[in-house]
Amino acid sequence: MFVHVSDFLHAWKQEMENTIKILGALTDDSLKLPEHEHVRSIGQMAWHITTTIPEMIEKMGVDVGPPTETDPIPESAQALREAYEKHANKVISEVSKWQDPDLQIEDDMYGMKWQRSLTLWIFIKHEIHHRGQLTVLMRLAGLTVPGIYGPAKEEWVKFGMQIPEF
């Protein structure tokens, strides 16, 4: 959980940049992949990450505006990334107005009372969780996944590492 608003903003900016990096590797053609009845498509997963921002943040009184998960998924990877960036940056501009004591305010979250410090913690972890799922879908679709916490296998050579055989 966060004690200082600045701690959240620092963590959010880093994770936001990581997500933008991943979304930047998507292509228009990849958004409908994989075609499997039990798996979200790349577009659906990226849209879920994007629309969770207003869904969770607005429960704390922060208006970041539409779209919602029921709105149509953009048909271009660029439009999807731009929607994500718009919402993610709005979180920064709005939460920057808070003071540290605001993190102790309790809001109704899914039928429970959560302190905003907890909500923001779960908010970031939720994005990381689904971003991980997205990168697996991207690999299955044949996309190159950029490294975010370290080099991806395609980047290992730049660091003098040998790519392992799978």
Number of domains in the chain: 1
135 belongs to a structural domain: yes
Question: Per-residue pLDDT for 166 more than 80?
Answer: no
CA distance 77 to 88: 16
Q: What is the pLDDT of residue 65?
A: 85
Residue 103 within any structural domain of the chain: yes
Q: What is the CATH number of the domain that holds 100?
A: 1.20.120.450
Task: Flag whether 165 is in a domain.
Answer: no
**pLDDT-derived band at 155, boundaries 50, 70, 90:** confident
Residue 166 counted as domain residue = no
164 domain residue, yes or no? no
- Would you say residue 38 lies in a domain? yes
- pTM (two decimals): 0.93
Residue range of the domain that includes 65: 5-159
Cα gap 17→33, rounded to integer Å: 24
- pLDDT tens track for 14-48: 999 999 999 999 999 999 998 888 999 999 999 99
User: Residue 15 in contact with residue 112, Cβ under 8 Å?
Assistant: no
- Which one-letter DSSP state was computed for residue 157? G
Cross-strand pairs, 109:
112
Q: Do residues 71 and 27 touch, judged by C-beta distance below 8 A?
A: no
3-state percent breakdown (helix, strand, coil) of the chain, nearest 5? 60, 5, 35
3-state secondary structure of 114: strand
pLDDT digit string (tens) for 47-85?
Answer: 999 999 999 999 999 988 888 888 999 999 999 999 999
